[in-house]
């Protein structure tokens, strides 16, 4: 079983902004000692400075093996152990399969899938040397649980879900739980960019809100804080019997039949 979120030593990759920064803030608020990892080193340092206290920033590209070993080592050097690892770093893609380049595909897979493989391996190896066990949460996507128009991204995220299941099986013998979260439409720069492609006005926002069952009626996206709250739960002892699963935090997207008749035809 993992250490509780309070007093834990946690690593968050992709932690300098967006969902990752919300995760860092939540863990710090819960009393954790946090290592903020991001390819944007100055951004990670700025967040660590802002939060103060037991927060360390590390610049790293999660697709590079040496960088992954570096951030894991930095956590051990700063705090003596690692209890929780949140593998959140990732990059997006909106290129259709027919237009994708091999170079573009390889880059998406390098960060979103290879980076998770390297992070999971490093976390399990470190936790194997400890007696307390631990907990790992990986950011997947609804695109990893269903079809998607973003071929490379979806393929990588499907791979992430498979890695999480395998890591959960191996981690069980070490007292390590491994789960994933699958965010849907979250209020981040990615969604704002999509708004701009649709015209950038209120009608565009409402159109995108309406793609999510909860968003359709609440007229909003999910928030990074809601993703962070789910992550904190999965890391905590309250989730002590949960491993190898992917929790969709998607406002109901995956629950809905994509072939929706017009409102007037519904019964």
Could you list the active site residues? 153
* Beta-ladder partners of 138: 87, 180
Residues with Cβ within 8 Å of 193's Cβ and at least 6 positions away in sequence, in order, are none
- Antiparallel, parallel or unpaired: β 9-13 and 33-38: parallel
What is the distance between the alpha carbons of residues 43 and 112, in angstroms, rounded to a whole number? 20
* N-term to C-term CA, the chain: 47
Nearest to 248 by CA among 266, 222, 209, 218: 222
CB 154 within 8 A of CB 95: no
DSSP-derived secondary structure for 229-263: HHHHHHHSGGGTT--S-EEEESTTGGGS-SSPPPG
DSSP structure class, residue 210: T
DSSP-based helix, strand, coil % in the chain, nearest 5: 50, 15, 35
- Chain-centroid distance of CA 126 in Å reads 20
Contact 125, 69 (CB under 8 A): no
- Helix (H) / strand (E) element for 79: namely helix 65-79
């Amino acid at each position: 079983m993992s250490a509780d979120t309070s007093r834990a030593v946690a690593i968050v990759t992709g932690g300098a902004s967006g969902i990752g920064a919300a995760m860092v803030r939540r863990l710090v608020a819960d009393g954790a000692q946090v290592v903020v990892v991001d390819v944007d080193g100055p951004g990670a340092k700025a967040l660590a400075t802002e939060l103060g206290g037991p927060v360390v920033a590390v610049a790293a590209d999660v697709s590079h093996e040496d960088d992954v070993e570096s951030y894991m080592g930095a956590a051990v050097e700063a705090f003596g152990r690692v209890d929780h690892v949140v593998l959140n770093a990732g990059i997006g893609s909106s290129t259709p399969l027919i237009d994708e380049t091999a170079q573009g595909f390889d880059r998406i897979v390098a960060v979103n899938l290879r980076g998770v493989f390297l992070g999971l391996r490093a976390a399990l190896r470190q936790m194997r040397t400890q007696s307390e066990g631990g907990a790992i949460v990986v950011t997947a996507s609804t695109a990893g649980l269903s079809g998607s128009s973003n071929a490379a991204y979806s393929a990588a995220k499907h791979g992430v879900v498979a890695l999480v299941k395998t890591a959960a099986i191996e981690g069980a013998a070490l007292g390590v739980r491994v789960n994933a979260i699958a965010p849907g439409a979250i209020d981040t720069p990615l969604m704002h960019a999509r708004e701009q492609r649709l015209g950038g006005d209120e009608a565009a926002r409402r159109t995108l809100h309406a793609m999510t069952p909860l968003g359709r009626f609440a007229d909003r996206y999910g928030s990074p804080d809601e993703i962070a709250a789910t992550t904190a739960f999965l890391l905590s002892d309250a989730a002590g019997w949960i491993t190898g699963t992917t929790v969709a935090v998607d406002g109901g997207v995956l629950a809905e039949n994509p072939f929706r008749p017009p409102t007037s035809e519904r019964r």
